[in-house]
Copies of this chain bind each other. A is one copy, B any other.
Amino acid sequence: MTYYLLLNELRRIVIFPDKDFLKATPLLERIQVKKGEHLLKAGDISRKVYFIEEGCLRQYLINSNGEERNIYFKVECGWCSELVSFLNNSPTELNIQALEDCQLLAINQKNWIYAVTHIPPFAMYFIKAQQQTNYMLKKRLGEATVETPEEKYTRFLNEESHLLQRLPLFQIAAYLGMTPETLSRIRKKIGSK
């Protein structure tokens, strides 16, 4: 049982001594999920926080027309969670689904709270990592209503092109906030340049 992907990720953001990491690993559980399975559905209460060792998850919303909108995709070394629901035992409006077969590290509420309150670098890691998500969301929100679909796709190519290889296009359209038809036309247009 090694945890080097997790340790690498923690140390990418904060100083994380070995002794603290040894306190953290027993709090984790390694799980497998199949492509298509849900880890969280709207109306559920989130019971775990997930670290991705392998695979891809998406977090998405279903709007009033029944359409799905992807908030983000997370791959290896990313975390996926809904902490508001997790910390308050309140139902969430968000969904989390595996888009590939995944290997995950999961941590439950009791252990997570233990880690945050008893392992200081773990708390600081979470604050920092959350803030990065926060910043990304703010930027995307600022762009969402301004950029044209073509600009959004170009930005996606520049910043997240690795996702293009592993996800179907209709999922990317639901992430960029356009119809699959529009995405298809943009790709045709840009490809021919």
Contacts and interface: CB of A to CB of B under 8 A. Distances in A.
Contacts of A128: 83, 87
B123 A127 contact: yes
Contacts of A142: 60-61, 63, 69, 71
A143 B63 contact: yes
A120 B120 CA distance: 9
A89 to B, nearest CB: 13
A8 interface: no
Nearest to A130: B130
A25 B184 CA distance: 56
Interface in A54-80: 59-61, 63, 65, 67, 69, 71
A94 interface: yes
Contacts of A161: none
A131 interface: yes
A117 interface: yes
Given A83-B128, A84-B135, 19 more contacts: A61-B142, A63-B142, A63-B147, A69-B141, A69-B146, A71-B141, A83-B131, A84-B132, A87-B127, A93-B139, A94-B135, A126-B127, A130-B131, A133-B134, A134-B137, A144-B145, A145-B145, A145-B177, A145-B178
